[in-house]
Structure 1
């Protein structure tokens, strides 16, 4: 039985494993009489992608494949030489199908590993997009909150302006009732009333514009949330594949 080659340090989370790590874990499993497969190796290492573990495990198996030594022959050398030539020819002829099947299996395994790496890359890209959408959603929510504060401030200013206008109108009306026949003062009162009405209309327009911006920000937030949901559905579909 070979010595235990358990690695002293496992790869850190997020890092891929090397051949030495996989070989040491596989040797340990074999020495302990356990099944040597990718899941068992990953359980020992605690890290590494499936594609990398498959590739290193295949290389480890190939490195340990040692042909069996032929038994000693007691026949004459000439006969032994003829038999050896016949045996080699027979082995080559009989093993051609096995070699072809093995080559095909290796090709299929390489294709599977390439597809696995490609899917893992696509998964990482989608996760990055989800993170970006989340950041955009947070930014939109911050804008909505800021617009809400602006609307509250404009509403308070509009109420104050209305109160001031009403007090001014009441005061002017009392003065004008006490002074009859003064057309100039009446004209001034009308002008002030018109200015107050104009200011009130301007504040109302500002409040309406702020409400329209709030509606736009809310629509953008809902659109980002829907896009986020679609990306999560795509990730779930890729994982199912």
Structure 2
């Protein structure tokens, strides 16, 4: 919200009080008493207050010589007083011009400082944007790795399912072989060689079953490891997504700050232009006062 400037009535009241106290009504003195106010605004109201003050008017009338001489002496005294007042106004105008020039230099310094601040914030914004882009690239890469891990896990699951089917088929075959062994054992006494062959067949079948069970255990262990790695990748992807969102928020905040600083620089530039115009006006007033002083001296 823009700050409300001081009014003419406030400046005029303080100026009257300063003159009543025997002091000069300057921009600095009025600003110190008010405790606020732009130097440009105070200078504008102070000039209007000075223009509104009653000026001494010369009265010419046909009077006796003695009275004319006395009046001439008073006029000379009044002219001296007027000259002193004009000189005082000239000094005040010069002082105010110096104060306005100093204010202009301060505003230029603030403008340069804000410009440097914008450069710093712009650099920081670009750095955050680059970091966000790198994080997005890394997140995409991890997503691709996650997809590959999922494909590998799916392939392992299919392999485990196939192994289980094979185990079931082998279990059915084992049952059949065990029945065959039972039949062979029943015929042991009648056919010794047949019993030996049956025992060999049972041993081979048991070895195959053991090997199949071992492969199934290895496949299950691989599946568990792939599930664990998949969970880790999912957690990492979630974390990187949160970081990317934070980086986007930071960039938005920095953009807001940069826009605010640019608005401040534009405002400072306008105030600087106004201050320079006030300085020119004050210098022109000083030149006019010098001309009046020269004319009065003649």
List alignment gaps of at least 5 residues for structure 2: 1-75, 172-208, 272-298
Aligned to 2:130: 142
Q: Select the residue among 221, 232, 255 that pairs with 1:225.
A: 255
Aligned to 2:92: 104
Q: CA RMSD in A?
A: 2.1
- How far did residue 115 of structure 1 move? 0.6
Q: Structure with the greater relative contact order (CA < 8 A, sep ≥ 6): 1 or 2?
A: 2
1:211 lines up with 2:211 in the alignment: no
List alignment gaps of at least 5 residues for structure 1: 1-87
| Bigger shift: residues 147-156 or 181-190 | 181-190
For residues 7-39 of structure 1, the C-alpha deviation after alignment (integer angstroms, 9 at most, x for no partner) is xxxxxxxxxxxxxxxxxxxxxxxxxxxxxxxxx
Structure 2 CA distance for partners of 1:114 and 1:178, relative to 1, 3 Å: same
Quick one: distance in 2 between partners of 1:212 and 1:157? 19
Q: Select the residue among 116, 119, 124 that pairs with 2:107.
A: 119
- How far did residue 156 of structure 1 move? 0.5
Alignment check: 8 A CA contact 2:156 2:219 kept: no
Aligned to 1:40: none
Q: Select the residue among 177, 191, 201 that pairs with 2:165.
A: 177
TM-score, normalised with respect to structure 1: 0.59
Aligned residues: 154
Alignment check: 8 A CA contact 2:163 2:216 kept: no
Which of these two proteins has the greater Rg computed from alpha carbons?
Answer: 2
Aligned to 2:221: 191
TM-score, normalised with respect to structure 2: 0.48
Matches within 5 A, 1:9-158: 92-158=80-146
| Bigger shift: residues 230-239 or 186-195 | 186-195
Alignment check: 8 A CA contact 1:176 1:185 kept: no
